[in-house]
Amino acid sequence: VQLQASGGGLVQAGGSLTLSCAASGSFVGSYAAGWFRQAPGKEREFVSAISWNGGSTVYADSVKGRFTISRDNGKNSVYLQMSGLKPDDTAVYFCAADFSDYRYGARRADLFDFWGQGTLVTVSS
């Protein structure tokens, strides 16, 4: 499974961006998907996750109410709509897949099976 994250860029505080994560390759079964981020000098942290059918979503407290995760299984893609961006949101954002479709609720990076390469989001003040 290959995951390709895209959509990062430079945005002013208060602005919006939408990240995309496209899955490709040969895989069987459904997967939950998550977004994590890693700021310079900091550990990777959980941002949001969504179940296979989109019926369940979870968010970190720091982004709740500002970010929205969604997916389009017909396009094998997951999205992260980010609004009200703050300088503290500056980080490399990674998408990940959890083929158990239940571990994602633990919000732990080590429980995800596959990872994308990351896309940089920079929020200027």
25 and 1 Cβ atoms separated by less than 8 Å: yes
**Pairing state between β 119-124 and 9-12:** parallel
Query: Which residues make beta-bridge pairs with 24?
Result: 2
Taking only Cα atoms into account, the Rg of the chain, rounded to an integer number of angstroms, comes to 13
33 and 98 Cβ atoms separated by less than 8 Å: yes
45 and 119 Cβ atoms separated by less than 8 Å: no
* pLDDT tens string 66-122: 999 999 999 999 999 999 999 999 999 999 999 888 888 889 999 999 999 999 999
* pLDDT tens string 16-32: 999 999 998 876 668 99
**Pairing state between β 91-98 and 2-6:** unpaired
